[in-house]
A and B are shown apart, each in its own frame.
Chain A
Amino acid sequence: MSFLFYAGGVVALISTLLVILQTNVVHALIYLVLSLLAVAVVFFSLGAPFVALLEAIVYAGAIMVLFLFVVMMLNLGQTTREQEKAWLPTKVWFVPVVLATILLIGLLSSFPVNSIEVAEVGVMEVSGLLFGPYVLAVELASFLLLAGLISAYHLAKSR
């Protein structure tokens, strides 16, 4: 099962890297969906099945479809792709990547290791907390969503 964690982690890292290197927005979105699904697998391997399902349904399902709709509405074509290529030449990112890799190697070699005994924290515990001590936070979250809905409607309205 710890194999699941590492496989999910590697897929998430590679697909996220591909997201920020893409020039076509739709391809980047598909890689982002892959990355979110991989993170959902990581959640599952960490013993959080409820959160893993929500990640797959809400993040990869709902939020990314919203993105896709807007990208299709904007209809960004070939010119944008060429613009993107011109904005990100190799010489811009090469040196920072090398320097950051040195920092990463330093970080990796200095880690102490504490291990997690993975035990499943299931839906019962989470929902018990959601409707117990965190009930006010849930209400506030619903207010936030309402505010988001209204402001998105107002902003996207053509006048």
Chain B
Amino acid sequence: MYTIPFEHGLLLASALFALGLVGVTTRRNIVFVLMSLEIMLNATGLVFVVGSSRWGHADGQVMFLMILTLAAAEVAVGLALIIQLYRRFKTVDIDVLSQLKG
């Protein structure tokens, strides 16, 4: 039996989330943006697992499994969109997508 400060778990998760957010906002390569989204989802899952560990319930881990499923579906659709984008515009620059606005 050992103890870990609850806040340190939350702090790690929020730091990872912040790094993901920085990635989403600063990168212009769409592959990097999708990767940063993965980092953010993973950080959210970490919060659930920390909470599950804090209160000794398994519910948080079940929620993490749901997030895992969501991430898998999101990546599949996102990568398909990247392939389409690359096929049409021959670039991975997301600024090209501003042509889509009406």
- Which residues on the B side are within 8 Å of A149 (C-beta)? 76
- Say what secondary structure dominates the interface of chain B: helix
Contact B32 A20 (CB under 8 A): yes
Determine the distance from Cα of A1 to Cα of B4 in the docked complex, in whole angstroms. 9
A126 at the B interface (CB under 8 A): yes
Contact B69 A145 (CB under 8 A): yes
Contact A74 B77 (CB under 8 A): no
Return the contact of A141 from the options B66, B75, B77 (Cβ within 8 A). Answer: B66
| Residues of chain A at interface, number, CB under 8 A | 80
- Segment 2-41 of A: residues with Cβ below 8 Å from B: 2, 5-6, 9, 12-13, 16-17, 19-20, 25, 28-29, 32, 35-36, 39
Could you tell me the distance in whole angstroms from the C-beta of A15 to the nearest C-beta in chain B?
10
- Say what secondary structure dominates the interface of chain A: helix
A46/B9 contact (C-beta < 8 A), A12-B16, A126-B62 known? yes
Contact A59 B19 (CB under 8 A): no
Contact A46 B50 (CB under 8 A): yes
- Segment 49-72 of B: residues with Cβ below 8 Å from A: 49-50, 52-54, 56-59, 61-62, 64-66, 68-72
Contact B5 A141 (CB under 8 A): no
A93 at the B interface (CB under 8 A): yes
Determine the distance from Cα of A149 to Cα of B79 in the docked complex, in whole angstroms. 11
Map CB proximity to A onto B13-47 as digits: 1 under 8 Å, 0 otherwise.
00110111011001111011011101100100110
Contact A118 B36 (CB under 8 A): no
Listed by A's residue number, 24 A-B pairs whose Cβ atoms lie within 8 Å are A2-B3, A16-B20, A19-B19, A19-B35, A20-B20, A25-B31, A28-B35, A29-B35, A39-B42, A50-B61, A63-B71, A67-B34, A74-B86, A76-B92, A88-B26, A114-B7, A114-B54, A116-B54, A126-B58, A129-B59, A134-B62, A148-B76, A152-B80, A153-B80
